[in-house]
Structure 1
Amino acid sequence: MHLKKPFWMHRHLAVCAITLLLAPLSHSESTAPESDSAASADKKLYPAGLIALAGDSLFSSYSLVVDKSKRLLSVYEWKNEDLTKIAEYPADIGKKNGDKKKENDSRTPVGIYFLQREMTQPEIPFGLYGNLAFSTDYPNIFDQRDAKTGSGIWLHAVPDTVPLTRGSRGCVVVRNNIIKLLKNYVKLEQTPILIFDEVKYLDPSGYQSQRNRFLKSFDDWRTAWEQQDVDTYIKYYDTTFRNDQMNYRQWYRHKKKLKSLYSYIKVQLGPPMILQNKDQIVIRTIQRYESNLHKDYGEKTIHARLSPDVGFHIIREDWKPLPDPLASDHSQEKNSSMINMEQKREVSAQEPAQ
């Protein structure tokens, strides 16, 4: 998808220089990352679920990918609309195999998560978690929908005296020196950690084909929204859709009502982050919205299930406002007042233009 006039601001994160060494795919305690640089371009492989990272500086340029079957954690960088593995490390996982279902089952969950909070001493005991830990958002939207229980799934370290083959209570575990390196790639609440039973890989052609399919579905959804083609637009929503205010039927009626109020709408979306694990899909993007009565700017987060018909079926959609880099303080205050006015008119309880 290409926007004629991009509105987002591109800033590139500095990338740490890392000495890369080839290592066997084993339970080795080696802490040197594995490099792809020696491989020729036609041998480059892409993890199937890491479809795209967003180009906007609000989001992270990096993603962590965990392969439970190989007990490996890899770091991928998104640069110039391409994905490159820049590091790989041994990792420990839950003592028991399989996906986490309930509290205290000693299993590592399979899914799409985001690193939320950084913790170190004295908040966490060194003997259990090493010198650094990052919490995740388990249980996420999908986990809650699937009635999974438990909490406290972290990415953390352990002292060097503890073997990485011991098995955790469900967390992903690396060495102390490695988690210090991983910190360089973490933007809290924005850096994803994808945990797979086994990572499936695509060659460049297969990866680009997958990415193009998702981008087309994403833009078709945006186009139907912008054209106020509500009947086509609603096909991208699952009948189990629910946000904090509305279910599927209420959302459909809400969009019909907005169509009667707005003579036009414009929807601009930045390059999206698109992540997939099994049938779960997470999309994040920067959104600029305008109608004859309202305008806003913010972050859109979509949770969806894979759909063979339209690409994805949205089960939840969230939006939060951000300071508009193109708007003056006065215009943002005016827009805030417009939002409040529309809320009072009960066009929507939270986001009248969405």
Structure 2
Amino acid sequence: MKKLLLALVFLSSVLGAKSLEQIYLDNGLEAVRDAIENNLQSKKHWQEILKGKELKYGYYPAPTFITVVDKTSKKLELLHYENDKLESRFSKKNIITGLMGDKLKEGDLKTPVGAYHITRHFKPSDQYYGPAAFSLSYPDLYDSLRKRDGGGIWIHGLPFDGDRIDAEKTRGCVAFDNDELVKYENIIGDKGGVVLINEEGIKEATNEQIAAIFAELFAWKHAWSVSDIKKYLAFYDKDFIRFDGQRYKAFAEMKTSIFNKKESKFINFSKFRIIPYPSVEKGSFFKVIFHEKYLTSSYKFEGEKTLFVRLDGDKMKILVEQ
């Protein structure tokens, strides 16, 4: 309740001369809701909220470990994100990564480029991988729908028997000295986190980009809520693919049929994670994860929603939705 009151006070201060209380007195509760909805669709509003926050590696609702890998400079850095601040906790130069280029298929020996999650921390059964390993979530949905395959991408150590390994021998994994790996392990443990793997230099997000995505998410939500099919579909790229493989044309026809029913909807978004998604392609890409509540008279959903989006200026284009 305290957070809600603070949010309302903040909204009152940025909505202009009229406070929420005055809007309520003049026009009722519906007008207050509309004023807040309009504000949430404003990039300027979100820029004010995000001012001073360190968001170059993403926006997270809870403390998060972020591992940043640069395949060109052969550097790994572990940072901790908490209370909108980033703290560097570990760094290692001269790491070993797979071959350059985006990973396309099993056996191409390339380290994938993208934003992944640590799925498991374990002790390898084979001495070749050193004292510890961390498996990554490659291929993710975005990879799979673009026909990227393969797997078994880890962060791990070096062989205990002293054998040298090079880019080809990592088979796409990220590896470095065992003593340093133990230091990394002692910090991150089983806490997991995000791993950003870059090809040529670190691609960082800006607060302006994160603000634009927040505003676009709420504009997309509003179009969805009021069944404005034209505005809703404008958020989707023409090369859009849904999690089940459905392409844009079939998706648009399905949504048009649903929106034509003009059902009353309740839609709520919360617990946002907005993660810059490194890519070898030109453009600014992001992985957006949030909790969604969706309710109509005929359908109910509550759970995690994931979007892979491209930001064109201030406009969000949805590439993949799950």
TM normalised by structure 1 equals: 0.64
RMSD of the TM alignment (CA)? Answer: 3.2
Aligned ranges for residues 30-45 of structure 1 at < 5 Å? none
Per-residue CA deviation, residues 2-25 of structure 1 (Å, 9 max, x unaligned), is x9599xxxxxxxxxxxxxxxxxxx
Alpha-carbon offset, residue 172 of structure 1: 0.9
Instruction: Report the equivalent of 1:52.
Output: 59
1:240 aligned to 2:245? Answer: no
Match of 1:287 among 292, 299, 304: 292
Instruction: Report the equivalent of 2:30.
Output: none
1:97 partner amino acid: M
Instruction: Report the equivalent of 2:223.
Output: 224
2:101 partner amino acid: G
Aligned ranges for residues 169-188 of structure 1 at < 5 Å? 169-174=171-176, 175=178, 176-184=181-189, 186-187=191-192
2:174 partner amino acid: V
Unaligned runs of 5+ in 1: 7-43, 319-354
Q: 1:282 to 1:75 in 2, by over 3 A?
A: same
Instruction: Report the equivalent of 2:117.
Output: 114
Per-residue CA deviation, residues 265-298 of structure 1 (Å, 9 max, x unaligned), is 1221114211222443211111122234443321
Per-residue CA deviation, residues 106-159 of structure 1 (Å, 9 max, x unaligned), is 3222112222233324xx31x211122222232333333444343221111225
Identity %: 25
State the number of aligned residues: 264
Instruction: Report the equivalent of 2:155.
Output: 155
1:220 partner amino acid: A
Instruction: Report the equivalent of 1:213.
Output: 212
Q: 1:252 to 1:241 in 2, by over 3 A?
A: same
2:182 partner amino acid: N
Q: Counterparts of 1:263 and 1:47 in 2: how far apart (Å)?
A: 38
**Does the 8 Å contact 1:269/1:287 carry over to 2?**
yes
Q: Counterparts of 2:163 and 2:122 in 1: how far apart (Å)?
A: 22
Q: Counterparts of 1:68 and 1:196 in 2: how far apart (Å)?
A: 6
Q: 1:129 to 1:173 in 2, by over 3 A?
A: same
Q: Counterparts of 1:228 and 1:83 in 2: how far apart (Å)?
A: 40
1:300 aligned to 2:305? Answer: yes
Q: Counterparts of 1:207 and 1:96 in 2: how far apart (Å)?
A: 29
Alpha-carbon offset, residue 170 of structure 1: 1.4
Q: 1:212 to 1:47 in 2, by over 3 A?
A: closer
1:194 aligned to 2:196? Answer: yes
Q: Counterparts of 2:160 and 2:54 in 1: how far apart (Å)?
A: 32
Aligned ranges for residues 74-113 of structure 1 at < 5 Å? 74-90=77-93, 92-113=95-116
1:68 aligned to 2:75? Answer: no
Q: 1:160 to 1:147 in 2, by over 3 A?
A: same
Per-residue CA deviation, residues 42-65 of structure 1 (Å, 9 max, x unaligned), is xx99684x2312x16xxx622211
Unaligned runs of 5+ in 2: 7-51
**Does the 8 Å contact 2:66/2:79 carry over to 1?**
yes
Q: 1:103 to 1:170 in 2, by over 3 A?
A: same
**Does the 8 Å contact 1:287/1:298 carry over to 2?**
yes
1:61 partner amino acid: T
Q: Counterparts of 2:267 and 2:101 in 1: how far apart (Å)?
A: 41
Instruction: Report the equivalent of 1:130.
Output: 130
Alpha-carbon offset, residue 160 of structure 1: 6.3
Q: Which structure shows the higher helix fraction? A: 2
- When structure 1 is superposed on structure 2, of 109-118 and 80-89 the one drifting more is 80-89
